[in-house]
Amino acid sequence: MAVAPIEPSKELADVEQASTKARNDTVFRLSKYILRRILAAIATVTVGVYLTVLIANMGGALDDIRRAVIQEEIANFVAIQALEDPALKAMSQEQRNEMVAQQVALAEKRFGLDQPFAIRSFRALGSAMTLNLGFADNMTSDSGSRLIRNIILERLPATLVLMGTGLLMLFFLTLFGGLALSRRYGSWLDKAIIGLAPTSAAPSWFYALFFIVIFAALLNWLPFGGMVSAPPPETTWGYAKSLAFHMIIPVGAIVINAVFSGIYSQRTFFLAFASEDYVDMAKAKGLPDNLVERRYILRPTLPPIITSFAFVLLALWGGSIVLETVMNWPGLGNTYGQAIGQFDTAVIISLTVLDAYLLTFTLLILDIMYAIVDPRVRVGEGSSGR
Amino acid sequence: MNNNETTDLLRVRDLKLHFRVKSGAVQAVDGVNFDLPKNQATVILGESGCGKSSLAKAILRLLPKNVDHYSGEVFLNNQDIMKLSDEQFRKDIRWQRIAMVPQAALNSLNPVMRVGDQVAEPILLDGKLTKKEAMELALEKFDQVGVPADFLYRYAFELSGGMRQRVAIAMSLITEPEMVLLDEPTSALDVLTQANIMNLLKRFKAEKKASFILITHDIATSSELADNVAVMYAGQVVEVSDAHNFFTEPLHPYSKALMDSVPRLYGEMQPDFISGQPPSLLKPPTGCRFADRCPARFERCSDEPPVFNMSDGRKVKCWLHESDSVSAESNPDTWEEMYAKS
């Protein structure tokens, strides 16, 4: 190619200027889009949480049960007290009934049960939306608090550290493993991974049990469960070491559980995108392989990759009920399991509301990320051309 | 075989590209020979599935993963580019000397990169130009192909089909390559846009911007651009001719049948179609590959015909022209047979 000295033309400057203006327009449109998304997300959460409140209270039927329980508890209490208390003994049956009725009315007022359910449901919605989660029915946090917020906040870090390590490891392993495998399409490694993909049929706790039998019981290399050794090490470094040591089995179980099927599906996904015409075109243009991979395979597939990452984050918050129970891990999944076992509806509802919030929030972030990453969403169809 | 130094820009000799599939090897390109003189256009004609696009891929070494056999000689300015290493081929040949306009320009632009960036990409690879200079050049090419300047900063989905094809042509010209491979550049477009694009290509040919190989099944549009014609059938070139002679009187029965299938605006002639299907490229027939569908078939056709050189320089691979030919080029199979006999 003959390289002649190129003088900057006025035209290109003009076009650049126009493009900057267009970009400003885009920013404006993008802000409008994001604002609309936020409003939609708030509406979605409100409706979802209100439905949860309605369902959890059985459409108000739970109030009748509560009233009956209060009535019975107070009547029983008064009846038992009457055996010993001379003042109560002296009362006539009518007087006693009247006193019970007064006590019941007071208790109902205290719990807000004197209001109709329609009003109470909106009050519940308000406190749920502001994450004013209230008290657990019968669970307590490890520090003895009955505040649901304390129960959750106490357990959250344990789940985040376990699921975060496991799921992020899994995500990047499958992403880059899939990309590497799509290059070796048809090789023995490819066939081996495809052959191993059905191992994901077994859940992660199944592998955890297996690893416990092998590495803890038989070989005695790793601890059976828990988060740190007892008593917990004093130094930060010692604590981190003990934590990492206890994480090997559960993290290994999370990774082994899904890594092969994950690599398989990512490999198939990249293979489909690698046969696009523009990838061939990039190769014909003489681009080196790593540039083709980055600009023409990874970049256009970013939106679906972000989606799967978002769902990884979502799974991360919830924890895994059975795995945490098997590994005796003091996380949110474990708490969820305990709450179900103890019929603690307040905790179950709180965790559900929290999940709804996280799901909507994740989807909102996803929408915004899409808009930034994909010009087809950002610029919007119909702005020109066609 | 004529391997002397020539002034031809491109000479393709015995190019083979076979793909491996479950039931055997598909002989998509099977011993193709043709030349492209400088600043001319050679049209490769043939119906779907005869290996035209595979030929383009074979010349640019864009091989799919299931390649079974890839051999032959491709001379670009008397340099055998088949001998280059993959890395050298990528750096020196692709787009620097041979560029390509793909069949489906609709799909050949990256949906998430600005069009201008994609056009300027090849000249930025060696790092000699700044981004600004490259965009300046891209703008110049956009002017030449008639794409508005502000399209530089647009995305492919904002462009119409014709505009995308123009962008693809601008992209192919950005490095000022010696040769441009056009793989059915107009087949996905409506007639008016087709005519526009063809006019553009004709102008570039007249301005001697590059030499063209036009791969198409569209005889009517190809006749506007062609200096030479090579007809492909079942992975082989069956006739090579200059355009004028070819379009007035094709030699090979297949070429005749192709020409007869084109509807005429004036004249009594009804368009004719070729009966039957092209043969499977998995197990092509041993003799002449067109024999099964050929109206002029006779006994000799069960042997593979050599390429006969005609007195006017045309070449045809058909026994019918044995008598009026000047000489015959033995095909390698016949050589082997002769070797075995002696």
**Residue B136 contacts A where some CB pair is shorter than 8 Å:** yes
A311 alpha carbon, distance to own chain's centre: 8
* Shared domain check, A327 and A216: yes
Instruction: Give the pair of three-digit tokens for residue A50.
Output: 């209100």
Count of A-B CB contacts under 8 Å: 117
* Shared domain check, A168 and A122: no
Q: Please list the pLDDT of chain B residue by residue as tens digits (342 residues).
A: 444 566 788 888 888 888 888 888 888 888 888 888 888 889 998 887 788 888 888 888 888 878 888 888 888 888 888 888 888 888 888 888 899 888 766 688 888 888 999 999 888 888 788 888 888 889 988 888 888 888 888 888 888 888 888 899 889 888 888 889 988 888 777 888 888 888 888 888 888 778 889 998 888 888 888 889 999 988 888 999 998 889 888 889 898 888 888 777 676 667 777 777 778 888 888 888 888 888 888 888 888 888 888 888 888 888 888 888 787 776 555 445 545 544
Please tell me which of the candidates A8, A285, A295 has its beta carbon nearest to residue B113: A295
Is residue A287 assigned to a domain? yes
Q: Is the Cβ pair B95, A284 closer than 8 Å?
A: yes
CA distance B284 to chain A (A): 27
Q: Which residues of chain A have pLDDT under 70?
A: 1-10, 317-319, 378-386
Print the SS3 string covering chain A. Answer: CCCCCCCCCHHHHHHHHHHHHHHHHHHHHHHHHHHHHHHHHHHHHHHHHHHHHHHHCHHHHHHHHHHHHHHHHHHHHHHHHHHHCHHHHHCCHHHHHHHHHHHHHHHHHHHCCCCCHHHHHHHHHHHHHCCCCCECCCCCCCCCCCEHHHHHHHHHHHHHHHHHHHHHHHHHHHHHHHHHHHHCCCCHHHHHHHHHHHHHHCCHHHHHHHHHHHHHHHCCCCCCCCCCCCCCCCCHHHHHHHHHHHHHHHHHHHHHHHHHHHHHHHHHHHHHHHCCHHHHHHHHCCCCHHHHHHHHHHCCCHHHHHHHHHHHHHHHHHCCHHHHHHCCCCCHHHHHHHHHHCCCHHHHHHHHHHHHHHHHHHHHHHHHHHHHHCHHHHCCCCCCCC
- Chain A segment 217-276 residues within 8 A of B by beta carbon are 276
Domain that holds residue A40: 30-129
Q: Which of B21, B53, B132, B150 to mutate to test the interface with A (most CBs of A within 10 A)?
A: B150
Residue-wise pLDDT for A139-148, tens only, equals 888 888 888 8
Please state the domain count of chain A: 2
* Shared domain check, A316 and A224: yes
Please tell me which of the candidates A2, A19, A295 has its beta carbon nearest to residue B153: A19
* Shared domain check, A196 and A113: no
* Shared domain check, A196 and A333: yes
* Shared domain check, A292 and A236: yes
Is residue A267 assigned to a domain? yes
Residue-wise pLDDT for A76-117, tens only, equals 888 888 788 887 777 788 888 888 888 888 888 887 788 888
Residues of B in contact with A373 (CB under 8 A): 112
Residue-wise pLDDT for B5-57, tens only, equals 667 888 888 888 888 888 888 888 888 888 888 888 899 988 877 888 888 88
Is residue A147 assigned to a domain? no
* Shared domain check, A124 and A264: no
Q: Which of A3, A6, A273 to mutate to test the interface with B (most CBs of B within 10 A)?
A: A6
Is residue A384 assigned to a domain? no
Q: CATH no. for residue A213?
A: 1.10.3720
**Residue A79 contacts B where some CB pair is shorter than 8 Å:** no
Query: Tell me, what's the pLDDT at A6?
Result: 59
* Shared domain check, A40 and A185: no
Is residue A290 assigned to a domain? yes
CA distance A265 to chain B (A): 20
* Shared domain check, A110 and A161: no
Query: Tell me, what's the pLDDT at B276?
Result: 76
A143 alpha carbon, distance to own chain's centre: 25
Query: Tell me, what's the pLDDT at A385?
Result: 35
Is residue B133 a contact partner of residue B104, using CB atoms and an 8 Å limit?
no
* Shared domain check, A308 and A169: yes
Instruction: Examine the predicted complex and report whether its ipTM is higher than 0.85.
Output: no
Query: Model's pTM, two decimal places?
Result: 0.74
Is residue A12 assigned to a domain? no
d(CA B115, CA A81): 87
Is residue A23 assigned to a domain? no
Q: Which of A24, A281, A386 to mutate to test the interface with B (most CBs of B within 10 A)?
A: A281
- Chain B segment 65-124 residues within 8 A of A by beta carbon are 65, 90-91, 93-96, 99-100, 102, 104, 107-113, 121-123
Is residue A218 assigned to a domain? yes
Query: Tell me, what's the pLDDT at B14?
Result: 87
Query: Tell me, what's the pLDDT at B4?
Result: 52
Please tell me which of the candidates B91, B152, B176 has its beta carbon nearest to residue A15: B152
**In order of start, what are the domains of chain B with their CATH numbers?**
8-97+179-184+218-341 (3.40.50.300)
Query: Tell me, what's the pLDDT at A7?
Result: 60
* Shared domain check, A58 and A117: yes
* Shared domain check, A186 and A68: no
d(CA B223, CA B36): 16
CA distance B158 to chain A (A): 5
Query: Tell me, what's the pLDDT at A378?
Result: 66
Q: Which of B54, B66, B84, B108 to mutate to test the interface with A (most CBs of A within 10 A)?
A: B108
